Structures are given as structure tokens and as C-alpha cells.
Structure 1
């Protein structure tokens, strides 16, 4: 994620020191992350993403999709463009199975494979693995839009707003993503799931 963090920071016209101060982390820490060193927490990545005004998925690494549009479109080293309803007219993008962009969070944090070619369309589709022991009830997600999750494997407990849900393999949950939502894996099996988010964001 270091390359993506650096390119996004530069695109926003921020120095390492300015980004670090705004995010409440040390400049040396940001410098380490950009050089592929250190082990950032989910909370730290969120702070950096908030300051840079990008979703966490902007830090994902991987090749660009095959596109019939602009050959530079979807480059992994560029920050996402603002979404507009007409961002994808007439385009056909293919993301190969071995060409997905990936965001791996440290520890037992999730591994996100981004199935959408970029964040320019109206939908973000991801395959995620929440590893055994994952629990973000203390630091839940919250973002605009609507989200749908389909659990493929494992068991997952969710807290969405003031409601609790237990998902078994094959279950689907749809919810208002502006509600705080956290997840915890149950049992000794990783939770494998697909999620669709509209508009495309993740914080």
C-alpha cells in the first residue's frame, strides 16, 4: 500500500509532515508506510484515508483492469476520480482473476479483493476474507450508501446500528451503510464473503 499512499498524498498536494499532522500520526510513521515498512492498524489507515478524502480501497495494490476506454484509466498508482453518474458510459472493463487489486490489513484484519475495475462507477464489488479472530466492534465501519453482504463460508456476527445479526454460509444481509456496522468471526473458520456497496466507498 506504500506506493498508493505516496501517490495519493502527492496528488492531494500534501507533504508527509502535513498529512501526518492532520491524521494525528508521526511523520516518520507515514514515511515508513510509504516505503512499505511498518504495520499500520485499521484505525491509522482510516485516519489517513479520511485526511486524503479517499476510501480504504484506494490503498489497494494490483494491476489496472483491461478497458476499452482510456488506457490510463484505473491505474493502481492514481487516486480514484470523483464519482459521477456518467462516469462509465459505453465502457467495458474486465478484471481477471489473477489481476484483482488487493488490500490486506494487518494482523487478523480483512483481506479485500476488489472485483470492480475502479471507483468511477456506481458500484463497488469486493470479495473479502475476515480471518479467524477478527473483531471490529470497537471500531466499526460507517459510510454513505447501501451495502449488501453475501456470506459464502464461515460464520459471522454483525452489529448494525442497534441490531445484531448472525450470518451462516449462504445468508445475505442488506443495510443502510450510514449505520455503524462491525463484524466478528465466529468459530475456527475464516469468513469468506462478497459485498456490494453503492456508491462505491469504504471507510
Structure 2
């Protein structure tokens, strides 16, 4: 990204914050049934400056925001509550999850990736796992991070470390994924469960 584009993005974010703050100032002012002139006088501002702040065309200093907060009898942080930056989002319609190949994927064993989100330090991978056929040999998984399993359909004996847990619909299992784990007995087919894996993105390096 070149410097000009970086400045444009930064400017857009700043403007979005100013607009959000301005809307909050106006909303709190109207809630108290104050005119622009009335609030400006209480906060020690000119009518023109307050109008610019409410319209998002002026960037108020912290001192100005504190004066407005005092005049409106609200905490300073109230001006920022409605401000929302764009965040990572993944929307997958029913049946549209990506079918992936991973160790353990075989006939009758389906791993459907429902999204993939990477934050600054944490990566999260949600899977819908469906088992429709019996198998004599089960894969043993072992990886960094934590894993959460929520049973939706069927019954499975799920091993974690030296213990095996019998999971039925509504049951859940949350564990350290660094220990050996995986389905050990398919007790009632078909089996369907949600698996969410979270791990440090630095562990991949």
C-alpha cells in the first residue's frame, strides 16, 4: 500500500469517528431538549463550532469533548459507544461451507469449513463434521491451541488423552488440542458435530 492510499484510509477512518461523535453529541443534546446555542454556552463553545462538531466536519479536541460531556452530564466515553470500525466477518449460507481434505477425511467422513478468521494474535476455524459410515481405524489429531466440540446429531465416543467421552446431542467438550484426540467409537450414525479450533497465529511460524 502506498503512502497516499494509507493516508486516504486513515482519513476515512478519522472522518467516520468524527461523524459518529457528532451524532452522539446531537442525540444527547436533543435528549436534554437543549438548543445548539444552549449547549454551546454551557460547554464554552461557539455556536458555529458546535454545529461543525455535530455535523462531523470538525475534529473536537479531548478538552472540548470533556467540556461537552460535563455540560451534558454524561461520561466522556459515551461519545464513542456507537463508533464501530469494520471487523473481520465471514458469512456462509447453509450448505455452502468449503469441503476440505484433511487427515481423517475419507468416504463417509466430511469436514466442512464454515469460516476462517485471523485476528492480530488468534486464528479461529469452525468446522461442521459429519460421519455417516463406520470405520475400523480412526485418525488421532494433535495440534496447538484449544478446541470446542458441540454435538448436534448421533452419538460418538470421543477420545481426549487417556479418556473417552460419550457425546450425544447437546453435549460439549472443550479441551487442549495439544493432547491426542479424535472420535474413537461411532455409536449412532449419522454423527454431526460442530468443532471450533482456536490457536495462536504465531504457532504456525
TM bucket (normalised to shorter chain) is 0.3 to 0.5
More helix, by proportion: 2
TM-score by length of 1: 0.48
Q: Which of the pair has more CA radius of gyration?
A: 2
| Larger RCO, structure (CA 8 Å, separation 6 or more) | 1
